[in-house]
């Protein structure tokens, strides 16, 4: 091909003309869906490294890799790659039935060997699976047709629930062994509803519907997921029509956008809560101070004023969707009683108890503003808290070293809704994520980890939650609502786990 100056000028003029006429915004095909996503996808192996424990990117993984056991949008479990699962009577063996007729994205058959290989690999500490502490509890798998049995090393009642959670994915044994970790990063395959068509790190992911998919076929043939980490840019994406769906934008913007022609919204409480950890140091060792700090906070007001009414105040670390949610546990908002409690310990608004509260700023919606409001509520009853702002990375470091301030704001996700993954890890002293470390609580929680009677186990966790609320060992604030804005031409089904799943979207 030869090109002369005249041609070049022609191209330029045509291009400028196209831009001016708005041709770049050419209508997208009906089977095309573009989503402005809020996080990047760092790695394609959903079972190793830091990405594996990042709840926000699980929606991307779930589009390509099926979870071992499926999960409905309300968090209930449903057959996935396993059609049946369970324990024997004395909880010494597990049995699993593998779905037949499933194919990998390359067309090869999905087999029980893939399941055994994946579970064995997940339980091997050398592979760097961060949830290895769960997977190592079952080994010595045996295959008989499409049935798998395994020996229980240590009974973990949540073993099967983890199959719908972090690192609970099956990878293709033959393909992975053939291409290796690096090859898999470049060309990942799964059994999920979508296949990876193109992936540009930090830019976009192109997905193509899996023609072999065993479940409901996705409605959109092609899905482009743009990684737009800046909230203002995501708002611009949806407002300009460049994307048809976006999520995690400020509530103010949500209200503004859904009022516009052609846009609609969906906002639902998800498995993510805001809370204030209390550390068992300084003033927090005084039960009156803790109880007063809890009672002084008007959570309804925080949700109404700061979160524009989106979200729900909570009394424990369990939300209504979680298995151990107990609506009978109430924590009253009673500033007068808070004053009395503080007075009993020698404090008053004129002679306040003093401590530091740490918070992030901009990590969660209105986090800093919320802490400012809480500090204001505390001041009225006799608590003078100094706010210290830190980055989330610093929070993790301090929490792991058990060096957080007496009070520290954080959020906690729990997309399988089990009490071990909410109250359990957040409040059990020996866990690196726990902050309150008193022996009474450790003793109360200890027997629950291996409790074989499910009803007794859940009742036990409810009792723990009640005890924590009475002792005011933590200040649960609210369950967050996840805002999703979308074109009116797309129907979006929200998942309580917070995962945005293109497979659940359909043309309106």
Partner 1 sequence: MRGESVQSDYARMLLQRFLVRLLTMLVTLFGVAIVVFVVIRVAPGDPIAMMLPPGASDDDIARLRALYGLDKSIVQQFFIWLGGVLQGDFGTSISLRQDVLGLVFDRLPATLELATVALLMAIALGVTAAILGARSRGTAIEAGIDIASGATLSIPDFLWGLVLILLFGVLVPVFDISGRVSPQLDLPFVTQFYLVESILRLRFDLTWDLLKHMLMPAVALALPLAAIIAQLLKQSLKEVLDLDYVVLARVKGFSETQVILREALKNAALPTLTLVGVQFTFLIGGTVIVERLFSYEGLGNMAIDAVINRDLPLIQGIVLVFALLFVLINLAVDMMYALLNPRLRHG
Q: Which residues bind partner 1 (CB under 8 A)?
A: 1, 3, 8, 11, 15, 18-20, 22, 24-25, 36, 40, 42-43, 45, 48-51, 53, 125, 128, 130-134, 166, 181-182, 185, 198, 200-204, 206, 224, 226-230, 232-233, 236-237, 239-242, 390-391, 393-394, 396-397, 399-401, 421, 424-425, 430-433
Alpha-carbon torsion angle 212, 242, 259, 320, nearest 10 = 40
As measured in angstroms, the least distance from the Cβ of 11 to partner 1 is: 5
Q: Which is nearer to partner 1, 223 or 284 (CB)?
A: 223
Q: For the purposes of burial, counting CB atoms within 10 Å of the CB of 232, is it exposed (0-12), middle (13-18) or buried (19 or more)?
A: exposed
Q: Which is nearer to partner 1, 34 or 111 (CB)?
A: 34
Q: Which is nearer to partner 1, 143 or 398 (CB)?
A: 398
As measured in angstroms, the least distance from the Cβ of 332 to partner 1 is: 31
Query: Taking the CB of residue 168, how many other CB atoms lie within 10 A of it?
Result: 30
Q: In the chain, helix, strand, coil percent, each to 5?
A: 35, 25, 40
Q: Which is nearer to partner 1, 223 or 472 (CB)?
A: 223
CB-based contacts of 495, cutoff 8 Å, min separation 6: 59, 71, 73, 270, 501, 504
As measured in angstroms, the least distance from the Cβ of 79 to partner 1 is: 26
Which alpha helices (H) appear in 187-245, and where do they start and end?
231-240
* Contacts within 8 Å (CB) and 24+ apart, 123-130: 127/47, 127/48, 128/48, 128/49, 129/47, 129/48, 129/52, 129/167, 130/48, 130/49, 130/50, 130/52, 130/53, 130/166, 130/167
C-alpha distances in angstroms, 136 versus 53, 93, 125, 175? 17, 14, 8, 24
As measured in angstroms, the least distance from the Cβ of 329 to partner 1 is: 23
Residue of 201, 190, 230 whose CA lies nearest to 43: 201
As measured in angstroms, the least distance from the Cβ of 335 to partner 1 is: 35
Please tell me the distance from the alpha carbon of residue 136 to that of residue 52, in angstroms, as a whole number. Answer: 17
As measured in angstroms, the least distance from the Cβ of 119 to partner 1 is: 17
Q: Which is nearer to partner 1, 209 or 283 (CB)?
A: 209
As measured in angstroms, the least distance from the Cβ of 338 to partner 1 is: 32
Q: Which is nearer to partner 1, 201 or 489 (CB)?
A: 201
Q: Which is nearer to partner 1, 173 or 226 (CB)?
A: 226
Q: For the purposes of burial, counting CB atoms within 10 Å of the CB of 259, is it exposed (0-12), middle (13-18) or buried (19 or more)?
A: exposed
Q: Which is nearer to partner 1, 210 or 414 (CB)?
A: 414
CB-based contacts of 249, cutoff 8 Å, min separation 6: 231, 234, 235, 257, 483, 485
Q: Which is nearer to partner 1, 181 or 285 (CB)?
A: 181
Please tell me the distance from the alpha carbon of residue 493 to that of residue 504, in angstroms, as a whole number. Answer: 6
As measured in angstroms, the least distance from the Cβ of 236 to partner 1 is: 5
Q: Which is nearer to partner 1, 68 or 293 (CB)?
A: 68
As measured in angstroms, the least distance from the Cβ of 16 to partner 1 is: 9
Structure tokens at 197: 């068509």
Please tell me the distance from the alpha carbon of residue 257 to that of residue 36, in angstroms, as a whole number. Answer: 15
C-alpha distances in angstroms, 119 versus 87, 110, 132, 136? 16, 14, 10, 9
As measured in angstroms, the least distance from the Cβ of 247 to partner 1 is: 15
Helix (H, G, I), strand (E, B) or coil at 294: helix
């Amino acid at each position: 091909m030869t090109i002369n100056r005249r041609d070049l000028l022609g191209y330029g003029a045509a291009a400028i003309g196209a831009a001016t006429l708005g041709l770049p915004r050419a209508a997208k095909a009906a089977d095309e869906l573009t989503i402005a996503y809020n996080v990047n996808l760092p790695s394609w192996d959903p079972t190793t490294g830091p990405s594996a424990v990042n709840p926000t990117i699980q929606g991307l993984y779930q589009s390509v890799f099926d979870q071992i056991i499926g999960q409905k949008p309300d968090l209930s479990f449903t057959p996935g790659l396993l059609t049946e699962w369970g324990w024997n009577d004395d909880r010494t063996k597990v049995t699993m039935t593998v779905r037949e007729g499933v194919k990998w994205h390359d067309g090869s058959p999905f087999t029980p060997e893939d399941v055994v290989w994946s579970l064995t690999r997940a339980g091997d500490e050398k592979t760097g699976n961060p949830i290895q502490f769960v997977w190592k509890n079952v080994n010595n798998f045996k295959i008989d047709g499409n049935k798998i049995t395994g020996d229980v090393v240590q009974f973990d009642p949540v073993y099967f629930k983890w199959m719908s959670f972090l690192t609970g994915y099956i990878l293709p044994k033959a393909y992975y062994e053939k291409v290796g970790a690096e090859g898999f990063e470049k060309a990942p395959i799964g059994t999920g509803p979508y296949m990876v068509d193109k992936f540009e790190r930090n830019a976009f992911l192109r997905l193509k519907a899996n023609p072999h998919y065993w479940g409901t076929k996705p409605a959109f043939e092609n899905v482009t997921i743009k990684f737009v980490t800046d909230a203002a840019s995501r708002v611009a994406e949806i407002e300009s029509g460049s994307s048809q769906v976006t999520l995690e934008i400020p509530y103010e913007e949500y209200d503004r956008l859904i009022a516009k022609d052609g846009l609609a919204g969906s906002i639902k409480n998800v498995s993510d809560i805001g809370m204030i950890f209390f550390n068992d140091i300084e003033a927090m060792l005084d039960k009156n101070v803790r109880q007063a700090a809890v009672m002084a906070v008007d959570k309804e007001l925080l949700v109404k004023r700061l979160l524009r009414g989106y979200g729900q105040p909570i009394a424990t670390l369990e939300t209504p969707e979680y298995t151990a949610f107990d609506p009978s546990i109430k924590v009253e908002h009673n500033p007068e009683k808070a004053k009395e409690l503080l007075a009993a310990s020698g404090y008053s608004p004129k002679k306040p108890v003093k401590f530091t509260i740490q918070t992030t700023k901009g990590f969660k919606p209105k986090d800093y503003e919320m802490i400012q409001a809480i500090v204001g509520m505390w001041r009225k009853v006799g608590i003078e808290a100094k706010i210290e702002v830190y980055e989330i990375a610093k929070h993790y470091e301090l929490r792991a070293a058990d060096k957080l301030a007496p009070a520290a704001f954080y959020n906690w996700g729990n997309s399988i809704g089990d009490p071990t993954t909410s109250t359990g890890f957040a409040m059990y002293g020996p866990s690196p994520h726990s902050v309150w470390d008193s022996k009474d609580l450790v003793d109360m929680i200890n027997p629950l980890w291996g409790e074989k009677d499910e009803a007794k186990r859940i009742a036990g966790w409810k009792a723990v939650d009640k005890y924590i609320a009475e002792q005011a060992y933590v200040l649960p604030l609210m369950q967050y609502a996840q805002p999703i804005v979308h074109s009116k031409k797309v129907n979006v089904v929200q998942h309580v786990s917070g995962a945005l799943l293109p497979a659940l979207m359909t043309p309106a």
